[in-house]
Amino acid sequence: MEWIILIMGTIGHVGLWCVVFNRVHATAFPRKLRKFSEKAILVIVFAPLFWTFYLIIRIPGNSFADVISLPLIKYYFYGSVGLGFLFVVRWIYRKVFFKLPSNVLSSKTERLNLKKELASPLLHGRIPKLLGLFPFNEALLLTRQRMTIEVDMPPALDGLKICQLSDLHFTGEVDIRYFQRVVEEANQFQPDLVVVTGDLVDNAKCIEWIPETFGKLIAPLGVFYVLGNHDRRITSETFLRNSIHDAGLIQASSKWHQVKFNGANIQITGNALPWYRDAEQLSDQPDNQSGLSILLSHSPDQIDWARRRNFQLMFAGHTHGGQIAFPIIGPVVAPSKYGVGYSSGTFKFGNLIMHVSRGLSGDETIRWGSPPELGLFTLRSNQQ
Ligand SMILES: [Fe+2]
């Protein structure tokens, strides 16, 4: 019994700090503050554990039960036990009741081991190379995710193919050849439209990669993008945006874009809140809009914004599928106000379908249970 209480207390304690971590990283707080909070949370997570062991060792005859009966520790410990039970109940609820929306008519995943295929090292720098040696690291295991989705849209748009790339994070730690290969795969899908949902370039030195990567994407209706929180690391936003523009990409945020497919209208816009505030100036789409409205959002946290404006499709990234998904438990860390609720996958809210990509790379070159994702979505009209 003592062990069960100890385990639930640990789940509650660690879970509470994961909740704080996820919410802090969903904000536009300055990077230094978020980095400081990361370290503070790490210390707080381990401090009670070390403190308990310290008290047990220091005072002869002290047992675990003696330590947790100390005034402040007692209240925190039993609070954590209560939270632990709540987390477990919520986790079981999600596991049992989560269902892929019935709008997902088919889903097919293929894996490409680019680490093997591209032979010479793709990771640069001491830490990325070290992480690359970790067993089962999936950071370079590209998955091609093909989905057919039924959408509330005119029959003329039936068969429209959209390719999503997200979170490429050009840091210089992953070789440009990885991203060139991703672009080749995207072009092999022969999409009508490409959407890029943020976190393109982390390191200013990699801006020169843009023409050879994003610049090679081909789609007759255009390649649209929004920036993400990591793009703010580039000091000159204008220089970054100009480089992306010169490579032929279209900035989705700040206005409504209209394209036509088989004579039917498609409205596209973007939202990179809370990091870029363009979307706040955007007018609502007219109530009598026809066709299909697509939102590119860096974060899935803008789901309520999308619902209020009657989008039918929303593409997001940012959360990287948690980047590490434990067996059975799944991911525990995702920078979202919804925690890991929308860390990756397809979700339905009324007429709105949201797909959250696991992204293609990351700040840290480690992934377990959450391989990089390149998505192709073939749309089917429900108005046939
Ligand atoms: Fe990202």
pLDDT per residue as tens digits for the range 334-356: 999 999 999 999 999 999 999 99
C-alpha 125 to ligand 1 mean position (Å): 20
CA distances from 321 to 41, 77, 87, 115 (A): 21, 30, 19, 21
Q: 104-381, which class in CATH? A: alpha beta
C-alpha 198 to ligand 1 mean position (Å): 7
C-alpha 111 to ligand 1 mean position (Å): 21
- Which three-class secondary structure state does DSSP give residue 10? helix
C-alpha 238 to ligand 1 mean position (Å): 20
Most confident by average pLDDT, 25-39, 74-88, 334-348? 334-348
Q: Which helix (H) or strand (E) holds 200?
A: none
Q: Report whether pLDDT(287) > 60.
A: no
Lowest mean pLDDT among 57-61, 79-83, 219-223, 358-362: 57-61
C-alpha 12 to ligand 1 mean position (Å): 27
C-alpha 44 to ligand 1 mean position (Å): 25
- Which three-class secondary structure state does DSSP give residue 107? strand
C-alpha 234 to ligand 1 mean position (Å): 14
Contact 200, 232 (CB under 8 A): no
Nearest to 18 by CA among 321, 331, 366, 332: 332
Question: How many other C-beta atoms are found inside a 10 Å radius of the C-beta of residue 229?
Answer: 22
C-alpha 204 to ligand 1 mean position (Å): 16
Contact 376, 191 (CB under 8 A): yes
C-alpha 148 to ligand 1 mean position (Å): 25
| Distance separating alpha carbons of residues 250 and 275, to the nearest angstrom | 19
Q: Report whether pLDDT(286) > 70.
A: no
C-alpha 169 to ligand 1 mean position (Å): 7
| Distance separating alpha carbons of residues 14 and 333, to the nearest angstrom | 11
C-alpha 221 to ligand 1 mean position (Å): 25
pLDDT per residue as tens digits for the range 235-258: 999 999 999 999 999 999 978 999
Structure tokens at 141: 């295991």
Where in the chain do CATH 3.60.21.10 domains reside? 104-381
Structure tokens at 244: 């992306």
Overall pTM surpassing 0.75 (yes/no) = yes
